[in-house]
Structure formats: C-alpha cells, structure tokens
Amino acid sequence: MNLLLNSLSIFLLLVVSSAVAEKCEAKRYNVVCYFASWSVYRDGNGAFNISYIIPNYCTHLVYTFAGLNLAGGIDSLDYYNDINVNKGYAKVVELKEENPCLKVILAVGGWNEGSEKYSLMAESEETRIAFADNALRFLVQFGFDGLDLDWEFPTMRGGLPEDRENFILLLEALRDKFEHRKKMLTIAMSASTSIIQEAYNLTAMCDILDFINLMGYDFSVKEKTSVDAPLYPDPATRSDSVDGAISFIRKSGCPLTKINLGIPTVAKTYTLKPEFSGRAMPGIDAQGPGRAGPFTKNAGTLGFNELCAMMHEGKWNVKPLRNIGVKIAVLNDQWVTYDDRETVTEKAQYAKDKNLGGVMLWTVDTDDFHGDCHNEAYPLLLAANKVFKYV
C-alpha cells in the first residue's frame, strides 16, 4: 500500500511539474548543484539534510551516486538512504514543489565506481541498449528529469581503447531512449586536456548531450603542494588549467554554451615537511595529505564549511594567487588550496565572459550551508547566483 501511495504521489507531482515547467522561462546560465547523498551520515554540524537545499539557488540539482549492478543496469548504491528509509530520491524530487522550474538529475558512476564495469557494459550494442532501457525506466519510476553519466574515465582505469567510440555509441543509445520522454542527458568530464583527448570524441559528444559539467578541479598532485582548481596556468609550471581546457574544447567545435564550469566547495590539503612549515607557496615537497576534518574525515580534503571554521579559529596566512584564480593558506604544517566567495565570483564571471553554459558546484553539502562563517547560508553558491543576477 505504501509503495502504491508513493508511486501515486510521484505521478501527481510529475503531472503538476510538467504543466508548470511549460511556463518556466529558461535561464541563460545554468547553476548546477551536485549533492553528495552520503553527506547525511556526517557528524555534528556537517550532517546534511535534503531539506537544507534552497531549490531556487540551483537550476539543476544532481543526486550522486547510483551505480551499476551485476546485470549492467542502474541501481541504488544505498537502498536505506536512497529508497527504503531516508527516501532520498523522493525528497530531492519533492523539491520541485518549491521550485517547479528545477531539474532534478540522477548521477550514475563517480570515482569510486571505477571504470572497468562501465567499459564492459558499453562494449556491445545489446548491453548498451539494455542499459539505456533500464536507465529510462529507473528515471521514470523515481521521477528524475534526467541522467548524468559520470564514467571516470573511458579508456582508463581498466578500460579499453575502444571505450572512446563505445562511449559515443552508449550516449546515442541513451539519447534514443530519452528523446520521446524528454529526459535530459549530461555528463561530468575531466578538465585535463590529456584525459579529454584520450577519452572523449568531443565533436560527436556535444551533438548528443544537453550539457557537460567540466570538472574544473583535481589538478593538484600528491608529492608537492599544488593548486587544485586553477582558472589560469601557473606561470612557473605552465600546468593544465580551466582556461586551457576551455581553449581546447573551443577548438574542437563543441559549442561553449554546452559547458558548465565546475567549481569545488572542497579544499585540497597537505602536511608540510618540518623544514617547510609555514611556507605559503606552491611547489613545496609535502610530507603527506593534510589532516582530516571533523565532518568529511578524509585526509587530504576539507569541506569549505570545515575550512572556514578553522580559519576563524586560527591565524592562517592567506595568499590569493590572483594570476591563477585560486587561494592558498597555511598554518604551521597545514597547507590548503581552495576557492572562496571571491574566486567563485571570478570563475562565474569567466563563465559569462567566455559564453559558457554556466557553472557547476561540487558539492552543495560542503558549502557553508548553515551560514556559520559568513552570516548567510551557501556563500559560494550565492556568489555564483549573484554574478548571474539570480538573487
């Protein structure tokens, strides 16, 4: 009976949302909000609840992550949280009641899912079509507006060279199934030009997808202190950067309006060797990852909400790298590279100036969602919205 009532509720919500969506005016710039479903399990003030999300701050909300089951179809990775008890799927879709123009998308994949089983699924026409059919049924059953495919990455991590072409064939199979149901199809893509070149046929891909969420981060390396989300290359190292990726994409012929610039709400951290303690500069030999935070509990990363609280408590030496578009900070042996309101504003303005589709934030649950540091909730998400004049 409960399952029947839940299904009926979702159906009625979809009917109402469909009618209202026809009246929605498309916003020029996307603000794509990724939500890490496992954030509900964090401790203390770091525990995130879907009710904390402000639907009007996002044009698209992406629920992460679903995965592949043994049959090669989409499945929940956490039935307790997604479906049975916490009902995460139903709760994110219900946010459309507050903002009927919001598109709620399910992401499948992610780093921890690996690449090999996606390579296997995409290898034959039969398994691609079966996945596409299953994906559509899954989206319809739970009321999602589309699918975000986060295969990290075709041809790599146990994949095959053929993945590059098979990925396009997989997208075509999904688009064929989704078209008549008006379901969106998007992907998350690395901003490393070497990965883009090896893993993706950009020209073909851009013709199929609604948009691409460009992961404008993960540029840092483990051995030395290095910036994680550089807008521009470091003059000293001439390393990869977001701007380099955008130039590469533009030359491929892919319309830049299909690219959303990904901005991290997490900092990458290092523990410095004793002889380098207190040095606020990239390129220093690191002893290892930075100490884990109280919420995310992951050595080498801190949520912005964790970092901003630490900065209120300690005397950090903050150094804006204005020619790169990020900030670094150091306190004794702890060295961090991060984005704040100022750099998010710069990156959202860059998206406008370059005629991109908009921005993406990874993730809303590591923004300062309680407003403890800035007297307003979601300071990073708000910074992007202010650039686009949405608030």
| 319 Rama sector, left if φ>0, alpha if ψ -120 to 50, beta otherwise | beta
Q: Is residue 270 part of a domain?
A: no
178-190 pLDDT, tens per residue?
999 999 999 999 9
CATH number of residue 86's parent domain: 3.20.20.80
DSSP, res 160: -
CA distance 219 to 228: 5
Instruction: Reply yes or no on whether 152 is catalytic.
Output: yes
Residue with tokens 């995460």, as numbered in its chain:
88
For residue 308, the Cα-to-chain-centroid distance in whole angstroms is: 21
CA distance 155 to 152: 9
Q: Classify burial at 208, counting beta carbons within 10 Å of its beta carbon; exposed 0-12, middle 13-18, buried 19 or more.
A: middle
Q: Classify burial at 115, counting beta carbons within 10 Å of its beta carbon; exposed 0-12, middle 13-18, buried 19 or more.
A: buried
The pLDDT score that the predictor gives to residue 242 is: 98
Strand pairing class (211-215; 184-190)? parallel
Strands (E), the chain: 30-36, 60-68, 74-76, 103-109, 146-150, 184-190, 211-215, 259-264, 266-272, 286-289, 301-303, 317-321, 326-331, 334-338, 358-362
* 9 CB-side CA count, 13 A: 14
Q: Is residue 289 part of a domain?
A: no
CA distance 152 to 65: 13
Query: Does residue 200 contact residue 164 with C-beta atoms inside 8 Å?
Result: yes
Q: Is residue 297 part of a domain?
A: no
- Minimal CA–CA distance to 25: which of 59, 61, 53, 62? 59
Residuewise pLDDT in 10s, the chain (391 residues):
554 545 555 555 555 455 554 578 889 999 999 999 999 999 999 999 999 999 999 999 999 999 999 999 999 999 999 999 999 999 999 999 999 999 999 999 999 999 999 999 999 999 999 999 999 999 999 999 999 999 999 999 999 999 999 999 999 999 999 999 999 999 999 999 999 999 999 999 999 999 999 999 999 999 999 999 999 998 766 679 999 999 999 999 999 999 999 999 999 999 999 999 999 999 999 999 999 999 999 999 999 999 999 998 879 999 999 999 999 999 999 999 999 999 999 999 999 999 999 999 999 999 999 999 999 999 999 999 999 999 9
Q: Is residue 278 part of a domain?
A: no
Structure tokens at 343: 């750099």
Structure tokens at 27: 């916003």
Name, in order, each residue with C-beta under 8 angstroms of 221's C-beta and a sequence gap of 6 or more. none
72-112 pLDDT, tens per residue?
999 999 999 999 999 999 999 999 999 999 999 999 999 99
Residue with tokens 């949302």, as numbered in its chain:
17
Helix 163-178 and helix 125-142, axial crossing angle in degrees, nearest 10: 40
The pLDDT score that the predictor gives to residue 236 is: 67
Q: Is residue 349 part of a domain?
A: yes
Structure tokens at 276: 């380098």
Instruction: Tell me if residue 69 falls in helix, strand or coil.
Output: coil
Q: Is residue 277 part of a domain?
A: no
Query: Does residue 246 contact residue 240 with C-beta atoms inside 8 Å?
Result: no
Q: Is residue 13 part of a domain?
A: yes
How many residues are listed for the chain in this entry? 391
CA distance 334 to 286: 10
Phi/psi for 103 (5° steps) reads: -100, 125
Q: Which domain holds residue 101?
A: 2-265+340-387
Strand pairing class (326-331; 334-338)? antiparallel
Helix, strand, coil percent content, the chain, rounded in steps of 5: 40, 20, 35
Q: Is residue 310 part of a domain?
A: no
Phi/psi for 53 (5° steps) reads: -65, 135
Residue with tokens 């059953």, as numbered in its chain:
141
Name the active-site residue from 113, 116, 123, 152.
152
The domain tally of the chain equals: 1
The pLDDT score that the predictor gives to residue 13 is: 52
